[in-house]
Structure 1
Amino acid sequence: MSINARLRDSAFLPGGNALVNGFAFESRSGGARRALMRNGQELEVFDLEELFAGERAPGAVFPLPWPGWEWGVHSVSPDGSFAVFSGQRAVRAVGAGGEPLWEYRHACWGPELGHPHSGDEQEVCRGSEHGSCRVSDDGRLVWAHVVTGDGEDDWQELWVVLDAKDGRELARLPLDSAAEGSHHLSHPDGIHMGLSIGMGQDGILLHWARWDGERLTEWDLNENLDRILIDVHPGHAGYLTVEHYGSDLELHALDGDVLASAEPEDAAAEAPASWDYGCGFVDAGTVIASVPDDEEFPDLAGHWLLDARTLRKRGRVSYPAGAPAPRHLLPLGDGTWLTWDGGAQTLNRWAESAG
């Protein structure tokens, strides 16, 4: 079955591919949705609703603390008054005027254990390994994936909770990981935080946690798992993961129990293709997922709408004639999803056609 998509909005946004195929998107439990776009030596923050309404200028601009550092996943406070940057050797908060607010120092993400530094804070060491950070939805906490130690005997990755006012460490959780990179995902309940750690060919680690002001409670969900944390149900009814190599898509309860599963199989129940990493909740009742091109099974390629409770396929998305066939997508949870048109440099917002 084919399901027609209609174009709701379109906005010019150079570099917008990072929004649908990366970690430039940030949503908040109150409904705010923002694009965090790197432009030269600055981080530009765009409100998506204002962008689609025609506002071309970013709502906030923050200078990058380490211009030569191109990695890390950063975050901006809910009110846009400060940004927190995940650097190679520190997590740093920066005010709206570019002034440093605080810094939480940690060991170097560079892959050479025990390597010296020149003392220049702008020095960038070899390698692309990095952590990530996330300001909580109430703006009071910063969750950060960092590393400590400088040798093989004391090297340790940590998940830390920091006070957003001064960077003071409130809690830490030792991690059994050797990351290439990571990203955080805030739960819509405003309480729980998810952390997905990619370790290349060594797999994926997934954690959920909450901080109640006194104690850090964590759920380690990695027994026999190798799954990427993708999205959380807008009605708090579970979260989505994709298997490391895309073999299946699963809906989980917060404790990790599998509620539903789907493979990208064809009508004959053959499934050599894989799900792409672009998927998530279009709304409370619908999931959108993508299958990359497969020469043997071309009818599977494209975007599919699934029932959010069972993950059964509802149909393949059909875009209007003449529209570029998009690969990457970003669902917004409000009945729409985003794609990127590289030729026109536009961010396109789609919805399921009522007809």
Structure 2
Amino acid sequence: MPARARLHATVPALLPSSRGDFPELLGRPGGWSLAQRGDDALVVRALDDAFVAAGESVRVPAPWPRRRGTWAVAPDASLAVFAGVHAVRAVEPSGALRWEVRHGCWYGACREMHASYAVYGDSEDHRYPDGGSAGFSVDGAFVWAHVRGPLSVGELGPDTVDEWLLLDAADGSVLARADAEAAAAGSFHLPHPTDPRQMGLSIGEGQDGAPLRWGRWDGRALAVEYVEGDLALLGVSPSGERLMTVTHYQDVLAVRDTGGRVLEELEWDAETAVPRHPEAEPENDEALPHWDWAGGFLDETTLIGSTVESDEEWGAGRHWIIDVAGARTPVEVAYPVPVGTRPPTALAGGRWVTASESGDALYVWGLD
């Protein structure tokens, strides 16, 4: 029997797709928001628990073009942080710069400490740099930032390539820093859902690997768990005690503790856990499914994952529900309408979201 999805809400995008990236749903029950990065600003709108707009949009001017970095927004939308090629910059909705932390250039061959985006913005060799990311703690008090070392003042050591910083969101002061022990092409943060002093960092090194880090700050020192293996972090459970990961080569999905240990044999090899696409050639090894770098926890014991990337050659992409407290077998999701070609994103409270093909809306789903 398939897992039947029921549509709970349709959320229109804040910007037309020609002027912005795909919109993203952020937050948790009681504090949802819709955010979308446009050409010159990040636009955010609060939503109620029915995913209906609650108030006017907040527009935060961006310090550089949307293709030159990543962003994060505080839970109350009072501050946005832009992680760029040369700096992490915090901007208020008024456009005022609250703080900036400058760091080494993410373009690998450049060893300069740039003073501003204007210095390299038109440079051909800086057009496709690597990058880091930033993420707010669940309460908005801290910003965790993954940057290319060194900082403009001081450094951890001559062999440090990437640094992981814990910053005070109020003024940008560096509370703690650690060697990320990586050489990133990109990264993203996933916060602990209740503890602002814990954060997950998933790093992509292109073909070289996928380091996973889990950070804990005790008020004085930052302790980093350097998880063994090349693992992409997909989700953090509501308790904050479980991680959902997929291997770098997208073959094995697993539930782990924050130290990286697989819990209760909760792992699924895509080649044996899910069937080939029904329209795939049965003897073609290239038709074997693999997991997407997407998914997460719908609740403490229910996961959503997908095989969209490996399915696309054969037909519609498939999404999968896994009940780890029950049968533990991936069950295909049946939707009442087509959901496009993008993988699902898990939301708290038993919900998940898919995007329309054009990017003009998000669809919020739950189990029927």
TM interval, shorter chain, is 0.7 to 0.9
CA separation of 1:120 and 1:87: change in aligned 2, threshold 3 A: closer
Alignment check: 8 A CA contact 1:332 1:338 kept: yes
CA deviation string 1:131-158 (max 9, x = no partner): 11112223222111111249xx666210
Residue 8 of structure 1: aligned partner: 8
Q: Is the 8 A contact 2:99 2:172 kept in 1?
A: yes
Other-structure match for 2:258: 254
Q: Deviations over 1:39-95 (max 9, x none)?
A: 22010113343783256952x2100012x3523322122222111111111111111
Aligned match of 1:316: 332
Say whether residues 1:103 and 2:100 are aligned partners: yes
Unaligned stretches of 5+ in structure 2? 152-157, 277-286
Q: Does 1:75 align with 2:47?
A: no
Q: Is the 8 A contact 2:340 2:357 kept in 1?
A: no
Q: Deviations over 1:220-262 (max 9, x none)?
A: 113xx11101101113341100111210101001221101101
Letter in 2 for 1:287: L
Q: Sort the Cα spacing of 1:280 and 1:85 in 2 relative to 1 into closer, same or farther, 3 A.
A: same
Instruction: Report the CA distance shift for 1:348/1:286 in structure 2 as closer, same or farther (over 3 A).
Output: same
Following TM superposition, by how much is the alpha carbon of 1:207 offset from its aligned partner in structure 2, in angstroms? Answer: 0.6
Counterpart of 2:191 in structure 1 is 186
**Which residue identity lines up with residue 214 of structure 1 in the other structure?**
R
TM-score, normalised with respect to structure 1: 0.85
Offset at residue 326 of structure 1 (A): 4.6
- Superposed, which structure 2 residues align to 1:1-355 within 5 Å? 1-13=1-13, 14-15=16-17, 18-19=22-23, 24-27=24-27, 32-49=31-48, 52-54=51-53, 57-58=56-57, 60-66=58-64, 68=65, 70-114=67-111, 121-122=117-118, 123-124=120-121, 125-149=126-150, 156-190=161-195, 191-222=197-228, 225-259=229-263, 260-265=266-271, 272-292=288-308, 301-309=317-325, 312-320=328-336, 322-343=337-358, 345-353=360-368
User: Structure 1: any 5+ residue segments left out of the alignment?
Assistant: none
Asked if 2 retains the 8 angstrom alpha-carbon contact of 1:264 and 1:300, the reply is: no
CA-atom RMSD, angstroms? 3.0
Inter-partner Cα distance in structure 1 for 2:130 and 2:312: 35
Count the aligned residue pairs: 341
**Change in CA separation of 1:232 and 1:309 when aligned onto 2, cut-off 3 Å:** farther
- Work out whether residues 234 and 246 of structure 2, in 8 Å CA contact, stay in contact via their aligned partners in 1: yes
| 2:346 aligned partner, one-letter code | P
Secondary structure of the residue aligned to 1:201 is helix
**Taking structure 1 as reference, are residues 98 and 343 closer, same or farther at Cα in structure 2, changes over 3 Å only?**
closer
- Report SS of the residue matched to 1:4: strand
CA drift of 1:115 comes to 5.5
Distance verdict in 2 for CA 1:184–1:311, change over 3 Å: farther
Identity %, equivalent residues = 36
Q: Render the CA deviation track for 1:269-288: whole Å, top value 9, x for unaligned.
A: 88921011221112223111
Output the CA distance in 1 between the equivalents of 2:159 and 2:72: 28
Are the counterparts in 2 of residues 262 and 312 from structure 1 also a CA contact under 8 Å?
no
**Quick check: 1:288–1:331 contact (8 Å CA) kept in 2?**
yes
Check the 8 A contact 1:261/1:311 in 2, yes or no: no
Give yes or no for contact 1:157–1:175 (8 Å, CA) kept in 2.
Answer: yes
Deviates more, 1:266-275 or 1:252-261: 266-275
Distance 2:140 2:78 in 1: 10
